[in-house]
Amino acid sequence: MPIDYDDMMQSGATGLAARYDEKDVMLYALGVGMGRDPLDEKELAFVYENNGLKVVPTFASVINRGEAPPERQRMPQKSSINFALVVDGERRITFHKPLPSKCEVVSDERMLAILDKGEGKGAVLVQERITREAASGDKLFTIVSSIFARGDGGFGGPSSKNMPQGGPELHEIPTRAPDLVKECDTRPDQAFLYALSGDRNPLHRDPAFAQMVGFPRPILHGLCSYGTACRAVLSTLAQYQPERIRQFDVRFSKPVFPGETLVVEMWQDGGTISWRASVKERPGTMVLNNGLCLLS
């Protein structure tokens, strides 16, 4: 059934309880390309627990949504989305404190906006999740994200982002040449490894399914490309110090195919890092844009 705007806007949950441990942290780091050189001591800190395990900040994206009692969840009653046609749109993670290597967490989430792009043009859903440490109640991070539901437009909802709580503002990339360029390879089997961090969508692993929904072959998870770009900033301008990253934004432009090389361009203006990423094998193809990283 199509989206019912009022019904969907009321969806959300409070008190979603989850936990993660060192295995989850290391698996995610491997999934975004950390540890390719096992003799690189700076990257070893993200994939080996015995020297004080560090956490790649964008690990926040894959921390389990968690569970809550039914009375604390409001699921849509009159709406459904064709998740086979859903892709990532934009994402902003604001970090309130560094992520511990293992933690029990509690999250609250709500819908911020649902934007109708028109019949046959899809819909944009903007959501917010605030995650806290269960023990202390301290905020860990806030995620504001949008997904593009390609098969769900034309339901008669608002069509513009010119509305309160319309999602992350797009960051403008400087017009000068980048201050730094970092190439990050991905492996042909990268999506299989990254899927173990939670996203089992067949779009990223099943060739027949990918073709059925309009792609020539499986595409890399957008959040894997996002985490790979975070690795590029973390390993250069942030000097492998994840606690320095206070915010990390992106707009997903085009898909990446496993095995391609991300070319991450960076501009530094004090603690503000602007970034974007293209694909080396397809010159001129911008896959991640309007990137912003705030460093402390």
Catalytic positions? 199, 204, 219, 222
Nearest alpha carbon to residue 129 among 116, 110, 101: 110
Residue 257: strand, helix, or coil: coil
CA distance 38 to 22: 18
In DSSP terms, 179 is beta-bridged to none
CA distance 226 to 248: 9
C-alpha dihedral over 68, 71, 74, 75, to 10 degrees?
80
- With 0-12 / 13-18 / 19 or more C-beta atoms within 10 angstroms meaning exposed / middle / buried, residue 203 is buried
Token code pair at residue 293: 């990283």
Token code pair at residue 266: 């960076």
| Whether the Cβ atoms of residue 25 and residue 53 lie closer than 8 Å to each other | yes
CA distance 171 to 165: 16
Token code pair at residue 105: 């967490």
